[in-house]
Amino acid sequence: MEFAFTEEQQMIRDTAAAFLAEVSDSEAVRRAMATEQGYEDGVWQRVCQEMVWQAMHIPEAYGGMGLGYVELVAVLEQMGASLLCAPFFSTVCLGVNALLVAGSDEQRARYLPAIAEGSLTATLAYTGVSRRWDADAIAVSCEPRGDGYVLNGTLRYVLDGHTAGLVAVAARAPGTSGEAGVSLFLLSGDSPGLTRRWLPTMDQTRRQAELVLEGVVVGADGLMGEAGAGWPALRRIIGLATVALAAEQAGGAQRVLDLAVAYGKERYQFNRPIAGFQAIKHKAADMMLRAEVARSGVYYAACIADEALGGGRLADELPEAASVAKAWCSDAYFRNAGDSLQIFGGVGFTWEYDVHLYLKRAKASEHLLGSGAWHREQVAAMLLDQ
């Protein structure tokens, strides 16, 4: 594989950095944090109308740009660096991927053009209250009724679940467990029987919600794929989202290093910048190593994700590549954020500085879609199965 950006990819990355510096600076992030919605409509529409990022890897046949996962990851890295508050990850990395992997031609034709034009947001909900991220996390039940299904249960940790216009839901047949009996459905955000509640979390830059389904009726046209056989598709969707999240973490790991270095150059102690002290230099060097390795792992996983979406020969390597990237990036981001806070000292956790926002995002992202320890266990299990 060629691990160097093409001229077009470098342009996409540079343009993303410049645009986000304008619309997602510290002031904009703090304004969005103060709202229950979690983002500003004006910023989201600029993302959709000026940059058209929500359509980045949607096929051209559905009104998208038809780009690959490497281009998407390049933008996500910059979003992680700027703490962008927007329903981008939930819509593009969860909702769009669910439609691309498991949706029928009719479902894609119905929803992808609306997402591509910026008039529809989406998300994926599959985890219950067990705090698991594997197939056993699925607790919503689905029972056939007439030509459709009835869904009941509670979903947690649903990104932007309280505002999304479209929700892809994983449910299981009564009496099943593990990977058996899993089905995927598409629900409108205002479906009768669906109650949505925003859950305040430590990370104020990303919204999560609880969804309660009480007798929600889904027609046959809402079923994605084959009933009871949805886990392989869901596993691929989760793998794609895991790579995307790792890209955000890599961007954040680099940004907290940049913040620490800049502060170290302007903070004086004993009549010299603290950046000149050997202990600070060693800490910064370790932070840089973690950030560089994180970036390498993420872009390798992005190449595998491209194969997974296109049905290439390396598609089966997605779970392993995603887990390797997420395991390293989870640890690297949180460790870098902690070290950055140490370099800032006590002021790093005051409201005036942004370091504490990155630390909270790092901790929340570490556990979202599985912690580093959990993903290392997944890699070990895959190696034993080979």
Please give the single-letter amino acid code of residue 253.
A
Domains of the chain plus CATH, in order, are 7-120 (1.10.540.10), 123-224 (2.40.110.10), 231-385 (1.20.140.10)
Tokens for 318, please give them: 């997605």
Least Cα distance to 150 among 193, 110, 111, 112 occurs for: 193
Whole-angstrom Cα distance, residue 152 to residue 377? Answer: 31
Q: How many CA atoms are closer than 13 Å to the CA of 352, on its beta-carbon side?
A: 3
Q: Find the farthest-apart pair of alpha carbons in the chain and give their distance in angstroms, rounded.
A: 79
The 3-class SS string of the chain reads: CCCCCCHHHHHHHHHHHHHHHHHCCHHHHHHHHCCCCCCCHHHHHHHHHHHCHHHCCCCHHHCCCCCCHHHHHHHHHHHHHHCCCCCHHHHHHHHHHHHHHHCCHHHHHHHHHHHHCCCCCEEEECCCCCCCCCHHHCCCEEEEECCEEEEEEEEEEEECCCCCCEEEEEEECCCCCCCCCEEEEEEECCCCCEEEEEECCCCCCCCEEEEEEEEEEECHHHEECCCCECHHHHHHHHHHHHHHHHHHHHHHHHHHHHHHHHHHHHCEECCEEHHHCHHHHHHHHHHHHHHHHHHHHHHHHHHHHHHHHHCCCCHHHHHHHHHHHHHHHHHHHHHHHHHHHHHHHHHHHCCCCCHHHHHHHHHHHHHCCCCHHHHHHHHHHHHHHC
Dihedral sign (CA 191, 194, 197, 203): negative
Residue 131 pLDDT: 82
174-218 confidence digits (pLDDT tens): 999 999 999 999 999 999 999 999 999 999 999 999 999 999 999
Tokens for 78, please give them: 């910059």
Residues 6 or more apart whose Cβ sits within 8 Å of residue 155: 125, 126, 127, 128, 139, 140, 161, 169, 210, 211, 212, 213
Angstrom CA distances, 44 to 38, 162, 166, 223, 332, stand at 11, 16, 17, 29, 29
Residue 249 pLDDT: 98
**Residue 175 phi/psi, 5° resolution?**
85, 0
CB atoms within 10 A of CB 266: 9
Residue 2 pLDDT: 56
Residue for token pair 């038809």: 66
Residue 118 pLDDT: 95
**Spans in the chain with pLDDT lower than 50:** none
What is the pTM for the complete model shown?
A: 0.96
Least Cα distance to 301 among 324, 321, 329 occurs for: 321
